[in-house]
Structure 1
Amino acid sequence: MFFVHDDSELDLYLSRTDHAEPLSAYSAYPFELEGKTWPTVEHYFQAMKYDNEAEQERIRQSETPELAAKLGSRWFKPKRKDWKSVQVVIMTRGVYIKARTHPDIAEKLLATDDQKIVENSSYDFYWGCGRDRRGENQYGQVLMNVRAKLKEEQS
Structure 2
Amino acid sequence: MNEGTRIKFYSENGKYGEFSNFAQFPIKLKGKLWKTTEHYFQAQKFSGSEYANKIRKAISPMKAAELGRTRKVKIRPNWDNMKDNVMYEALKAKFTQHKELQELLLSTEDKILVEHTENDSYWGDGGNGQGKNRLGKLLMKLRTELK
| Cα shift at 1:8 | 2.7
Structure 2 portions without partners, runs of 5+: none
SS at match of 1:22: helix
Q: Is the 8 A contact 1:62 1:68 kept in 2?
A: yes
> 1:9 matched to which residue of 2?
4
Instruction: Say whether 1:148 aligns with 2:144.
Output: yes
Distance 2:13 2:54 in 1: 21
SS at match of 2:18: coil
> 1:3 matched to which residue of 2?
none
Q: Which has the larger radius of gyration?
A: 1
Distance 1:22 1:119 in 2: 12
| Cα shift at 1:132 | 2.2
Distance 2:41 2:144 in 1: 21
TM-score normalized by the length of structure 2? 0.94
| Cα shift at 1:52 | 4.0
> 1:54 matched to which residue of 2?
50
Distance 1:103 1:18 in 2: 18
Structure 1 portions without partners, runs of 5+: 1-5
Instruction: Say whether 1:18 aligns with 2:5.
Output: no
> 2:133 matched to which residue of 1?
137
Residue by residue over 1:97-134, the C-alpha shift from the partner in whole angstroms, topping out at 9 and shown as x without a partner, is 11110000000000000000000011311111113211
Distance 1:114 1:108 in 2: 13
Cα 1:60/1:19, change in 2 over 3 Å? farther
> 1:104 matched to which residue of 2?
100
| Cα shift at 1:76 | 1.5
> 1:66 matched to which residue of 2?
62
- Structure 1 runs, 4 residues or longer, greater than 6 Å off: none
Amino acid at match of 1:10: T
Aligned residue pairs total 145
